[in-house]
Amino acid sequence: MAPLVKGCSVAESTGFTRRHFLTVATLVTGGAGVVATAVPFVSSFNPSARAQALGGPVQFDISKLERGALAKIEWRGRPIYIVHRTAEMLASLGKDEAMLRDPSSKESAQPTYATNEHRSLRPEFLVLEGVCTHLGCAPLPRFEVAPADLGPSWPGGFFCPCHGSRFDLAGRVFQGVPAPLNLPVPAYRFVNDNTLLIGSDTGNS
């Protein structure tokens, strides 16, 4: 197509510039119409009002969770891991820091009240999203120390079956694995001594 400016400056015939003006105007208007029409179609792909409304906080009774045991519950379609850690498990956290990528959780996602050495409100109760920070699989709990398949330096923790990422008993990621960050900690609080509320943390300091 000849440039519009050339037609205008020459202006040999009014029809020539008029034709170009109409062509460009039609293209611009039509293009804007196509873009505007695309908006509702593209936007219909985003989470619907119903999908957004689901996912309020969930409760969990921790009184029946034995020391050393893990409970899995669902919150917003995600697995949430609750671990009642033993004294030995907590003690292992101080010893494995040399093997970790982000031992003090500086880059990882957790509420401020879980940004500490045990990554939790109460040291013995670990609450994590069971969502590998690599590609979203649910890491498997592997709490035994130094099993044959994970090697002699394994302090107990989580192993992702998808691509082999490793996390310790505070959900902190090891070096040299695909996952870049520690397992996220969701917002949570204790409603009373025995009841954990996941998805809401109003009242925590």
Partner 1 sequence: MASGEADVLDRLGSGLRALGAWIDDRFPMTKLIKEHATEYYAAKNFNVWYGFGVIATFVLVLQLVTGIFLTMNYKPASADAFASVEYIMRDVNWGWLIRYLHSTGASAFFIVVYLHMFRGLLYGSYKKPRELVWIIGMFIYLCLMAEGFFGYLLPWGNMSYWGAQVIVSLFGSIPVVGNGLSEWIRGDFFISDITLNRFFAFHVIAVPLMLVLLVVVHIMALHEVGSNNPDGIEIKEHKGPDGKPIDGVAFHPYHTSKDLVIIVVFLIAFAAVVFFAPDMGGYFLEHANFEPANQLQTPPEIAPVWYFTPFYAMLRASAEQAPRRRAHGLCRAAAVLSLPWLDRCRVSRSGIAVACTRSR
The site for partner 1 (CB under 8 A) is made up of 45-48, 51, 55, 72-74, 76-79, 101, 130, 134-140, 160-164, 173, 175-180
Structural contact between residues 84 and 69, judged by C-beta atoms closer than 8 angstroms: yes
Indicate the residue among 94 and 161 with the shorter CB distance to partner 1: 161
Q: Are strands 166-167 and 157-159 parallel, antiparallel or unpaired?
A: antiparallel
* Residue 173 burial class via C-beta count within 10 angstroms: exposed 0-12, middle 13-18, buried 19 and up: buried
Indicate the residue among 3 and 40 with the shorter CB distance to partner 1: 40
Least distance to partner 1 from the beta carbon of 53, Å? 12
Q: CA-CA distances (angstroms) from residue 11 to 19, 27, 41, 50, 184?
A: 12, 22, 43, 59, 67
Least distance to partner 1 from the beta carbon of 46, Å? 6
Indicate the residue among 118 and 158 with the shorter CB distance to partner 1: 158
Least distance to partner 1 from the beta carbon of 205, Å? 28
Least distance to partner 1 from the beta carbon of 147, Å? 14
Structural contact between residues 201 and 111, judged by C-beta atoms closer than 8 angstroms: yes
